[in-house]
Amino acid sequence: MREFILLSLKGKTSPDFNLEDLPGAGRIDLVCRTVSNILFISNALRRDTIVHISLNGPKSPPKMITFNGDELKGVEPDERSIATVIKTALKHSANLQQDEEKEVSPGVFISNKSFERLVKEKSKRCQLIYLHPKGEDIREAKFEENFLVIFGDYIGLPKNTEKLIERLGAKKISIGPIMLFASHCPVIIHNELDRRLQ
Amino acid sequence: MREFILLSLKGKTSPDFNLEDLPGAGRIDLVCRTVSNILFISNALRRDTIVHISLNGPKSPPKMITFNGDELKGVEPDERSIATVIKTALKHSANLQQDEEKEVSPGVFISNKSFERLVKEKSKRCQLIYLHPKGEDIREAKFEENFLVIFGDYIGLPKNTEKLIERLGAKKISIGPIMLFASHCPVIIHNELDRRLQ
pLDDT digits 0-9 by tens, B87-139: 999 999 988 998 899 999 999 999 999 999 999 999 999 999 999 989 999 99
Share of chain A above pLDDT 70, in %: 100
- The residue ranges of every structural domain in chain B are 2-196
Q: What is the pLDDT of residue A130?
A: 94
Beta bridge partners of A4: A51, A149
Of the candidates B77, B81, B176, the beta carbon closest to that of A194 is on B176
Beta bridge partners of A44: A41
Share of chain B above pLDDT 70, in %: 100
Residue of B nearest to A29 (CA): B78
Q: What is the pLDDT of residue B70?
A: 98
- Tell me the C-alpha distance between A71 and A39, whole Å: 11
| A198: chain B residues, CB-CB within 8 Å | 177
Q: What is the pLDDT of residue A155?
A: 82
Segment A165-191 shows an average pLDDT of 95
CB contact under 8 A, A176 and B195: yes
Of the candidates B29, B42, B154, the beta carbon closest to that of A179 is on B42
Report DSSP letters for A38-97, one per residue.
HHEETTEE-TTEEEEEEE--SSS--EEEEEETTT--S--SSHHHHHHHHHHHHHTTTT--
Residue B73's φ and ψ, nearest 5 degrees, are -140, 145
| B30: chain A residues, CB-CB within 8 Å | 77-78
Write down how long chain A is: 198
Res. A122: pLDDT tops 90:
yes
Of the candidates A41, A81, A183, the beta carbon closest to that of B180 is on A41
Res. A154: pLDDT tops 90:
no
Q: What is the pLDDT of residue B168?
A: 97
| B187: chain A residues, CB-CB within 8 Å | 180, 184, 187-188
Segment A123-130 shows an average pLDDT of 96
Res. B156: pLDDT tops 90:
no
CB contact under 8 A, A43 and B194: no
pLDDT tens for B15-38 read 999 999 999 999 999 999 999 999
Query: What is the identity of the amino acid at A13?
Result: T
Q: Across all residues in chain A, what is the average pLDDT?
A: 96
Res. B55: pLDDT tops 90:
yes
Element housing B102 (H / E): strand B101-105
- Tell me the C-alpha distance between A162 and A38, whole Å: 22
Which residue, among A11, A59, A57, has the nearest Cα to A34 in the 3D structure? A11
Helix (H, G, I), strand (E, B) or coil at B156: coil
Q: What is the pLDDT of residue A153?
A: 87
Element housing A7 (H / E): strand A2-8
Q: What is the pLDDT of residue A198?
A: 79
Residue of A nearest to B192 (CA): A176
- Decide: A65 and A83 in contact? Cβ < 8 Å: no
| B178: chain A residues, CB-CB within 8 Å | 41, 190, 194
Res. A69: pLDDT tops 90:
yes
- Tell me the C-alpha distance between B14 and B29, whole Å: 15
| B181: chain A residues, CB-CB within 8 Å | 40-42, 77
Q: Count Cβ atoms within 10 A of the Cβ of residue A94 and give its class: 0-12 exposed, 13-18 middle, 19 or more buried.
A: exposed
* Nearest-CA distance A57 → chain B (Å): 19
First-to-final CA distance of chain B: 17
- Tell me the C-alpha distance between B46 and A30, whole Å: 18
Query: What is the identity of the amino acid at A157?
Result: L
Does domain A2-196 match CATH 3.30.70.20?
Answer: no
Res. B155: pLDDT tops 90:
no
Res. B154: pLDDT tops 90:
no
Beta bridge partners of B44: B41
Report chain B residues touching chain A, CB-CB < 8 A: 19-20, 22-23, 29-30, 33, 36-37, 40-43, 76-81, 154, 175-181, 183-184, 187-188, 190-191, 194-195, 197-198
Chosen from A38, A87, A178, A194 to mutate, greatest number of chain B CBs within 10 A: A178
Of the candidates A33, A42, A181, the beta carbon closest to that of B180 is on A42
> What are the angstrom distances between the C-alpha of B71 and each of A9, A30, B67?
32, 23, 8
- Decide: A89 and A104 in contact? Cβ < 8 Å: yes
Neighbours of A144 (CB within 10 A): 10
